[in-house]
Amino acid sequence: MSVKVTILGCGASLGVPAAGNFWGDCDPSNPKNYRTRASILIQSETTNILVDTTPDVRIQLNRHDIDKIDGIIYSHDHSDHINGMDDLRVISYVMGHPIEVYTNTDTSESLQKRFNYVFNGGYGIYKPFLKLNERPYGVNKIGDIEMTWFEQDHGTCKTIGIRVGDFAYSVDMLDLNDAALEALKGVKTWVVDAGGYKLEDENLTTHASLGRVQKWVEHLGVEKTYLTVQTGRMDYDVLCDELPDHIRPLYDGLELEI
């Protein structure tokens, strides 16, 4: 079965440019430095799976003409990964039923508390437009797409890493335990958080650094690695010059066949 992954966004929590048109160290003349918040779309011929609903999700879905979503995976409950969920209301209504949401227990409980009206309706006007499903780490299936979820350490919480075939997605991740590294064995294409960029290990709090990612890539023998959660400190061309050919920065809109 052919599966395609589209990089809807590869920016960190502020996006690039940040509000106020602050580009940081990124060259505004390079369109690959324009980054919406980190999200991907996993597609087969019959199934569309959205990973996270960022504050930019309306722009992301419209840009790629996506009007059907068969499932949403929430990697965790941080605002830059969930706060766009209201924009899914129209898609749900047009589809004629709530969109299935899949996540772990902690994230499910948080979403239910913070967005009760989304899942249960409310205010006398909203119908439920998302439906929560708690899933364990390990093998999961949404539509006809099989995957493996593995636990990641994000410093302040645990996040869901996703493997589909020889592709893996590790968003918002500080560290990986032995079980996660075992789940990543044999991966050929890896989209991985390197938002810590050049920080030393003792100064990392929530996102892995380039150095840490490079050690994992070498250990796992990954053929092609793409960096996501890119901040305003991470200029696209500078990254291309700094990194070996098998590790590349991402840009919004890149498509990967897996």
Residues 115-170: pLDDT tens digits?
999 999 988 888 999 999 999 999 999 999 999 999 999 999 999 999 999 999 99
258 burial type by CB count under 10 A (0-12 exposed, 13-18 middle, 19+ buried): middle
Handedness of CA 181, 184, 185, 190 (dihedral sign): negative
Domain range for 53 is 4-251
Res. 56: pLDDT tops 90: yes
The Cα–Cα gap between 145 and 131 comes to 19
Residue 143 within a domain: yes
Q: Strands 39-43 and 48-51: what pairing?
A: antiparallel
Instruction: Report the Cα 115 to chain-centroid distance in Å.
Output: 20
Residue 257 within a domain: no
Number of Cβ within a 10 Å radius of residue 65: 6
Residue 169 within a domain: yes
Residue 113: which residues within 8 A CB-CB, separation 6 or more?
Answer: none
Tokens read off for 159 = 């996040």
pLDDT at residue 221 in the model: 98
Number of Cβ within a 10 Å radius of residue 25: 12
Res. 4: pLDDT tops 90: yes
The Cα–Cα gap between 40 and 92 comes to 19
Residue 256 within a domain: no
Q: What is the domain-level CATH number for residue 244?
A: 3.60.15.10
* Terminal Cα-to-Cα distance of the chain (whole angstroms): 9
Residue 34 within a domain: yes
pTM of the model: 0.97
Residue 201 within a domain: yes
pLDDT at residue 61 in the model: 98
Q: Strands 48-51 and 247-249: what pairing?
A: unpaired
Tokens read off for 33 = 């430095």
Helical spans, DSSP H, in the chain: 57-63, 79-82, 89-95, 105-114, 116-120, 178-183, 210-220, 236-242
Residue 31 within a domain: yes
Return mean pLDDT, the chain.
97
pLDDT at residue 1 in the model: 82
Tally of structural domains, the chain: 1
Contact 59, 31 (CB under 8 A): no
pLDDT at residue 77 in the model: 98
Res. 22: pLDDT tops 90: yes
Strand partners, 257: 4
Query: What is the residue whose two structure tokens read 């299935």?
Result: 100
Residue type, 204: L
Residue 258 within a domain: no
